[in-house]
Structure 1
Amino acid sequence: MNNRIEKGDIVVINKSGKYHQQVGEVSEVDYNIFFVKIVLVKLGDLEEAFEEKDLQLQTKKPSLQEIIASVDQILEQVAQIAHLPTKEKVELPNRLKYLKLDIPKLDKQLIQKNFDSIEQILAITREADSSASFWQEIDPNLDKISWWIRTSL
Protein backbone atom coordinates (compact mmCIF):
# COMPACT_ATOMS: atom_id res chain seq x y z
CA MET A 1 0.00 0.00 0.00
CA ASN A 2 1.20 3.48 -0.84
CA ASN A 3 1.77 5.26 2.49
CA ARG A 4 2.09 8.75 1.02
CA ILE A 5 -0.73 10.97 2.19
CA GLU A 6 -2.75 12.36 -0.71
CA LYS A 7 -5.94 14.34 -1.26
CA GLY A 8 -8.99 12.30 -0.31
CA ASP A 9 -7.23 10.02 2.17
CA ILE A 10 -8.57 9.57 5.70
CA VAL A 11 -5.99 10.37 8.40
CA VAL A 12 -5.68 10.34 12.21
CA ILE A 13 -3.95 13.28 13.88
CA ASN A 14 -1.01 12.13 16.02
CA LYS A 15 0.07 15.58 17.17
CA SER A 16 -0.75 16.19 20.82
CA GLY A 17 -3.07 19.09 21.50
CA LYS A 18 -6.51 20.22 20.47
CA TYR A 19 -6.96 17.76 17.56
CA HIS A 20 -5.13 14.71 18.99
CA GLN A 21 -6.62 11.40 17.73
CA GLN A 22 -9.28 13.12 15.60
CA VAL A 23 -10.02 11.66 12.18
CA GLY A 24 -10.33 13.81 9.08
CA GLU A 25 -10.19 13.80 5.30
CA VAL A 26 -7.25 15.34 3.43
CA SER A 27 -8.54 18.24 1.33
CA GLU A 28 -5.23 19.53 -0.02
CA VAL A 29 -1.50 18.79 0.04
CA ASP A 30 1.13 21.52 -0.36
CA TYR A 31 4.71 22.33 0.64
CA ASN A 32 5.98 25.25 2.70
CA ILE A 33 9.08 27.31 1.85
CA PHE A 34 11.30 24.68 3.54
CA PHE A 35 9.80 21.90 1.35
CA VAL A 36 7.99 20.38 4.31
CA LYS A 37 4.79 18.65 3.23
CA ILE A 38 1.79 20.54 4.64
CA VAL A 39 -1.54 18.72 4.66
CA LEU A 40 -4.92 20.47 4.97
CA VAL A 41 -7.30 18.20 6.88
CA LYS A 42 -11.07 18.66 6.96
CA LEU A 43 -12.32 18.10 10.51
CA GLY A 44 -16.08 18.51 10.44
CA ASP A 45 -16.81 22.11 9.43
CA LEU A 46 -13.25 23.39 9.73
CA GLU A 47 -9.92 22.81 8.01
CA GLU A 48 -6.58 22.71 9.78
CA ALA A 49 -3.04 22.49 8.40
CA PHE A 50 -0.63 19.84 9.72
CA GLU A 51 2.81 18.61 8.80
CA GLU A 52 2.71 15.14 7.27
CA LYS A 53 4.72 13.76 10.21
CA ASP A 54 1.81 14.69 12.55
CA LEU A 55 -0.63 12.48 10.65
CA GLN A 56 -1.16 8.75 10.37
CA LEU A 57 -2.80 7.32 7.28
CA GLN A 58 -5.99 5.46 8.19
CA THR A 59 -7.61 4.75 4.81
CA LYS A 60 -6.38 5.39 1.27
CA LYS A 61 -8.74 7.00 -1.22
CA PRO A 62 -10.03 4.24 -3.52
CA SER A 63 -8.13 3.69 -6.76
CA LEU A 64 -9.64 3.67 -10.25
CA GLN A 65 -9.53 -0.15 -10.28
CA GLU A 66 -11.31 -0.36 -6.91
CA ILE A 67 -14.06 1.94 -8.16
CA ILE A 68 -14.60 -0.10 -11.31
CA ALA A 69 -14.72 -3.25 -9.14
CA SER A 70 -17.32 -1.53 -6.91
CA VAL A 71 -19.48 -0.78 -9.96
CA ASP A 72 -19.20 -4.46 -10.97
CA GLN A 73 -20.24 -5.58 -7.48
CA ILE A 74 -23.28 -3.29 -7.56
CA LEU A 75 -24.18 -4.67 -11.02
CA GLU A 76 -24.11 -8.21 -9.58
CA GLN A 77 -26.40 -7.17 -6.72
CA VAL A 78 -28.81 -5.31 -8.99
CA ALA A 79 -29.50 -8.59 -10.79
CA GLN A 80 -30.91 -9.91 -7.48
CA ILE A 81 -33.42 -7.10 -6.99
CA ALA A 82 -36.79 -8.71 -7.68
CA HIS A 83 -39.05 -5.68 -7.14
CA LEU A 84 -37.57 -3.42 -9.80
CA PRO A 85 -40.13 -1.95 -12.22
CA THR A 86 -39.48 -2.80 -15.88
CA LYS A 87 -38.12 0.66 -16.79
CA GLU A 88 -35.62 0.63 -13.88
CA LYS A 89 -34.71 -3.03 -14.54
CA VAL A 90 -33.30 -1.84 -17.88
CA GLU A 91 -32.10 1.65 -16.90
CA LEU A 92 -30.17 0.80 -13.71
CA PRO A 93 -27.80 -1.79 -15.23
CA ASN A 94 -27.31 0.45 -18.27
CA ARG A 95 -26.45 3.46 -16.08
CA LEU A 96 -24.00 1.33 -14.10
CA LYS A 97 -22.34 0.13 -17.32
CA TYR A 98 -22.11 3.71 -18.60
CA LEU A 99 -20.62 4.80 -15.28
CA LYS A 100 -18.02 2.03 -15.55
CA LEU A 101 -17.09 3.25 -19.04
CA ASP A 102 -17.04 6.93 -17.98
CA ILE A 103 -14.83 6.54 -14.90
CA PRO A 104 -11.52 6.09 -16.78
CA LYS A 105 -12.34 9.21 -18.85
CA LEU A 106 -12.52 11.28 -15.62
CA ASP A 107 -15.36 13.43 -17.02
CA LYS A 108 -16.83 14.83 -13.82
CA GLN A 109 -20.16 16.01 -15.28
CA LEU A 110 -20.86 12.73 -17.05
CA ILE A 111 -19.84 10.62 -14.04
CA GLN A 112 -21.82 12.76 -11.60
CA LYS A 113 -24.94 12.69 -13.81
CA ASN A 114 -24.88 8.88 -14.09
CA PHE A 115 -24.10 8.43 -10.39
CA ASP A 116 -26.96 10.76 -9.36
CA SER A 117 -29.37 8.77 -11.56
CA ILE A 118 -28.15 5.48 -10.08
CA GLU A 119 -28.57 6.81 -6.53
CA GLN A 120 -32.06 8.07 -7.35
CA ILE A 121 -33.20 4.72 -8.77
CA LEU A 122 -31.70 2.86 -5.80
CA ALA A 123 -33.37 5.25 -3.32
CA ILE A 124 -36.79 4.49 -4.85
CA THR A 125 -35.98 0.77 -4.84
CA ARG A 126 -34.92 0.94 -1.19
CA GLU A 127 -38.34 2.35 -0.25
CA ALA A 128 -39.97 -0.76 -1.72
CA ASP A 129 -37.61 -3.25 -0.04
CA SER A 130 -35.14 -1.85 2.47
CA SER A 131 -34.48 -5.07 4.39
CA ALA A 132 -33.06 -7.16 1.54
CA SER A 133 -29.57 -8.56 2.02
CA PHE A 134 -28.20 -7.07 -1.23
CA TRP A 135 -28.14 -3.60 0.40
CA GLN A 136 -25.23 -4.79 2.58
CA GLU A 137 -23.20 -5.11 -0.63
CA ILE A 138 -24.61 -2.12 -2.51
CA ASP A 139 -24.30 0.55 0.22
CA PRO A 140 -20.54 0.31 0.95
CA ASN A 141 -19.78 0.22 -2.78
CA LEU A 142 -21.98 3.29 -3.41
CA ASP A 143 -20.20 5.09 -0.56
CA LYS A 144 -16.82 4.18 -2.03
CA ILE A 145 -17.81 5.48 -5.48
CA SER A 146 -19.22 8.68 -3.97
CA TRP A 147 -15.98 9.22 -2.00
CA TRP A 148 -13.90 8.72 -5.14
CA ILE A 149 -16.04 11.14 -7.18
CA ARG A 150 -15.86 13.80 -4.44
CA THR A 151 -12.08 13.56 -4.05
CA SER A 152 -10.80 12.67 -7.53
CA LEU A 153 -12.59 14.85 -9.99
Structure 2
Amino acid sequence: MSDRIEKGDIVLINKTGIYHREMGEVSEIDYNIFFVKIVIVMLGNQEVNFEEKDLQLQTKKPNLQEVIASIDKIIEQVEQIHHLPTTEKVELPNRLKYLKLDIPKLDKQLIQKNFDSIEKILAATREADSSASFWQEIVPNLEKISWWIRTSL
Protein backbone atom coordinates (compact mmCIF):
# COMPACT_ATOMS: atom_id res chain seq x y z
CA MET A 1 0.00 0.00 0.00
CA SER A 2 1.33 3.39 -1.00
CA ASP A 3 1.60 5.84 1.89
CA ARG A 4 0.88 8.76 -0.42
CA ILE A 5 -2.40 10.39 0.57
CA GLU A 6 -4.72 10.94 -2.39
CA LYS A 7 -8.27 12.12 -3.03
CA GLY A 8 -10.77 9.54 -1.77
CA ASP A 9 -8.51 8.01 0.88
CA ILE A 10 -9.66 7.67 4.47
CA VAL A 11 -7.32 9.40 6.93
CA LEU A 12 -6.95 9.78 10.69
CA ILE A 13 -6.14 13.23 12.05
CA ASN A 14 -3.02 13.07 14.27
CA LYS A 15 -2.81 16.80 14.95
CA THR A 16 -3.77 17.71 18.52
CA GLY A 17 -6.77 19.94 18.76
CA ILE A 18 -10.48 19.84 18.01
CA TYR A 19 -10.24 17.13 15.31
CA HIS A 20 -7.65 14.89 17.01
CA ARG A 21 -8.26 11.15 16.31
CA GLU A 22 -11.19 11.84 13.95
CA MET A 23 -11.39 10.05 10.61
CA GLY A 24 -12.47 11.58 7.33
CA GLU A 25 -12.28 11.22 3.59
CA VAL A 26 -9.85 13.28 1.53
CA SER A 27 -11.90 15.49 -0.78
CA GLU A 28 -9.08 17.47 -2.39
CA ILE A 29 -5.31 17.96 -2.45
CA ASP A 30 -3.75 21.41 -2.75
CA TYR A 31 -0.42 23.14 -2.07
CA ASN A 32 0.23 26.37 -0.18
CA ILE A 33 2.60 29.12 -1.34
CA PHE A 34 5.53 27.24 0.24
CA PHE A 35 4.66 24.07 -1.77
CA VAL A 36 3.54 22.25 1.37
CA LYS A 37 0.91 19.65 0.55
CA ILE A 38 -2.45 20.67 2.00
CA VAL A 39 -5.02 17.91 2.33
CA ILE A 40 -8.68 18.91 2.47
CA VAL A 41 -10.57 16.38 4.58
CA MET A 42 -14.34 15.96 4.81
CA LEU A 43 -15.27 15.68 8.48
CA GLY A 44 -19.01 15.26 8.89
CA ASN A 45 -20.45 17.86 6.55
CA GLN A 46 -17.52 20.29 6.60
CA GLU A 47 -14.17 20.42 4.85
CA VAL A 48 -11.08 21.08 6.98
CA ASN A 49 -7.52 21.76 5.74
CA PHE A 50 -4.54 19.87 7.18
CA GLU A 51 -0.91 19.50 6.28
CA GLU A 52 -0.10 15.98 5.12
CA LYS A 53 2.20 15.46 8.14
CA ASP A 54 -0.83 15.84 10.46
CA LEU A 55 -2.62 12.87 8.87
CA GLN A 56 -2.25 9.12 8.97
CA LEU A 57 -3.51 7.05 6.06
CA GLN A 58 -6.15 4.52 7.18
CA THR A 59 -7.61 3.14 3.96
CA LYS A 60 -6.67 3.69 0.33
CA LYS A 61 -9.54 4.27 -2.04
CA PRO A 62 -10.13 1.24 -4.27
CA ASN A 63 -8.10 1.08 -7.47
CA LEU A 64 -9.42 0.09 -10.89
CA GLN A 65 -8.54 -3.60 -10.46
CA GLU A 66 -10.30 -3.79 -7.09
CA VAL A 67 -13.44 -2.20 -8.54
CA ILE A 68 -13.51 -4.63 -11.46
CA ALA A 69 -12.98 -7.53 -9.03
CA SER A 70 -15.91 -6.20 -6.96
CA ILE A 71 -18.12 -6.17 -10.05
CA ASP A 72 -17.12 -9.78 -10.78
CA LYS A 73 -18.00 -10.77 -7.19
CA ILE A 74 -21.42 -9.12 -7.50
CA ILE A 75 -22.04 -10.88 -10.83
CA GLU A 76 -21.32 -14.21 -9.11
CA GLN A 77 -23.69 -13.39 -6.24
CA VAL A 78 -26.48 -12.16 -8.54
CA GLU A 79 -26.70 -15.67 -9.97
CA GLN A 80 -27.82 -16.81 -6.48
CA ILE A 81 -30.78 -14.41 -6.35
CA HIS A 82 -33.62 -16.72 -7.34
CA HIS A 83 -36.55 -14.37 -6.78
CA LEU A 84 -35.48 -11.76 -9.38
CA PRO A 85 -38.20 -10.91 -11.91
CA THR A 86 -37.36 -12.11 -15.44
CA THR A 87 -36.45 -8.66 -16.82
CA GLU A 88 -34.11 -7.91 -13.90
CA LYS A 89 -32.61 -11.42 -14.14
CA VAL A 90 -31.37 -10.40 -17.60
CA GLU A 91 -30.85 -6.67 -17.06
CA LEU A 92 -28.83 -6.79 -13.83
CA PRO A 93 -25.97 -9.05 -15.05
CA ASN A 94 -25.89 -7.12 -18.34
CA ARG A 95 -25.66 -3.75 -16.58
CA LEU A 96 -22.89 -5.11 -14.35
CA LYS A 97 -20.96 -6.32 -17.40
CA TYR A 98 -21.45 -2.95 -19.13
CA LEU A 99 -20.27 -1.18 -15.98
CA LYS A 100 -17.16 -3.38 -15.99
CA LEU A 101 -16.47 -2.38 -19.61
CA ASP A 102 -17.26 1.32 -19.03
CA ILE A 103 -15.12 1.88 -15.93
CA PRO A 104 -11.74 1.82 -17.72
CA LYS A 105 -13.11 4.43 -20.18
CA LEU A 106 -13.86 6.79 -17.25
CA ASP A 107 -17.08 8.02 -18.89
CA LYS A 108 -18.74 9.55 -15.82
CA GLN A 109 -22.28 9.81 -17.23
CA LEU A 110 -22.34 6.27 -18.58
CA ILE A 111 -20.82 4.80 -15.42
CA GLN A 112 -23.18 6.74 -13.14
CA LYS A 113 -26.25 5.80 -15.21
CA ASN A 114 -25.38 2.08 -15.11
CA PHE A 115 -24.48 2.16 -11.42
CA ASP A 116 -27.69 3.97 -10.48
CA SER A 117 -29.73 1.33 -12.34
CA ILE A 118 -27.81 -1.49 -10.65
CA GLU A 119 -28.33 0.08 -7.22
CA LYS A 120 -32.04 0.58 -7.89
CA ILE A 121 -32.57 -3.06 -8.94
CA LEU A 122 -30.54 -4.38 -5.99
CA ALA A 123 -32.34 -2.09 -3.50
CA ALA A 124 -35.74 -3.34 -4.67
CA THR A 125 -34.51 -6.94 -4.57
CA ARG A 126 -33.04 -6.53 -1.10
CA GLU A 127 -36.32 -5.09 0.14
CA ALA A 128 -38.01 -8.35 -0.88
CA ASP A 129 -35.41 -10.53 0.85
CA SER A 130 -32.70 -8.93 2.94
CA SER A 131 -31.78 -12.01 4.96
CA ALA A 132 -30.09 -14.02 2.19
CA SER A 133 -26.38 -14.67 2.71
CA PHE A 134 -25.33 -13.29 -0.69
CA TRP A 135 -26.01 -9.73 0.57
CA GLN A 136 -22.94 -10.03 2.83
CA GLU A 137 -20.87 -10.19 -0.36
CA ILE A 138 -22.91 -7.80 -2.54
CA VAL A 139 -23.22 -4.83 -0.13
CA PRO A 140 -19.50 -4.22 0.64
CA ASN A 141 -18.58 -4.67 -3.03
CA LEU A 142 -21.32 -2.25 -4.08
CA GLU A 143 -20.01 0.25 -1.52
CA LYS A 144 -16.47 -0.16 -2.87
CA ILE A 145 -17.68 0.56 -6.43
CA SER A 146 -19.67 3.57 -5.21
CA TRP A 147 -16.62 4.90 -3.34
CA TRP A 148 -14.46 4.57 -6.45
CA ILE A 149 -17.06 6.32 -8.65
CA ARG A 150 -17.51 9.16 -6.16
CA THR A 151 -13.77 9.81 -5.82
CA SER A 152 -12.40 8.98 -9.27
CA LEU A 153 -14.65 10.70 -11.77
Q: TM-score normalized by structure 1?
A: 0.99
What corresponds to 1:126 in structure 2?
126
Aligned to 2:152: 152
Q: Secondary structure at the match of 1:119?
A: helix
Shift, 1:93, TM fit? 0.2
2:115 maps to which residue?
Answer: 115
Cα separation, 1, equivalents of 2:15 and 2:54: 5
DSSP 3-state at the match of 1:89? helix
Inter-partner Cα distance in structure 1 for 2:4 and 2:46 = 23
AA aligned to 2:10 is I
The answer on 1:101 being equivalent to 2:79 is: no
What is the CA distance between 1:96 and its match in structure 2? 0.2
**Alignment root-mean-square deviation, CA:** 0.5
Partner Cα distance (2:3, 2:135) in 1: 31
Q: CA deviation at 1:106?
A: 0.3
Q: Where does residue 9 of structure 1 map in the other structure?
A: 9
2:67 is the counterpart of 1:58: no
**Partner residue, 1:87:** 87
SS at structure 2 position matched to 1:49: strand
Identity across matched positions, percent: 82
**Over residues 58-105 of structure 1, what are the superposed CA-to-partner deviations in whole Å (9 max), with x where a residue is unaligned?**
000100000000000000000000101111000000000000000000
Structure 2 unmatched ranges of 5 or more: none
Residue 40 (1) aligns with residue 48 (2)? no
- Residues of 1 paired with 2:86 and 2:48: CA distance? 49
